[in-house]
Amino acid sequence: MLKRGSSVVIAETLSEIDFYKLVDDAQKGNPLAIEALIQHYEPDMKKMTWFIRMPHEDSMQSLKLMLVELIKSTATPT
């Protein structure tokens, strides 16, 4: 994971440890970690939008929302 200014840029490949750290940070509510995970999965989500029968922008937004909800639903309460 590379940090640039106030945003996080994901390298092409994440090590397993870095990925789990990113997920843990996102589950704890870190908005930069959530954004980094969205960026990480964005290429896959773009491919999935071809199979969803709604406008591209709406399907991307839905997939991003589902990802954030999944991250937050699996977070352990602190």
Q: pLDDT, tens digit, for every residue of 18-39?
A: 999 999 999 999 999 999 999 9
CA distances from 29 to 33, 34, 47, 75 (A): 8, 8, 27, 9
- Which residues have CB under 8 Å from 4's CB, separation 6+? none
- Report how far residue 1's alpha carbon sits from residue 60's, in angstroms, rounded to the nearest whole number: 23
Tell me what pLDDT residue 31 has. 95
- Contact residues for 5 (Cβ-Cβ < 8 A; gap 6+): none
Q: Which residues of the chain have pLDDT under 70?
A: 1-12, 77-78
Rounded to whole angstroms, what are the CA distances from 26 to 6, 8, 45? Answer: 16, 12, 18
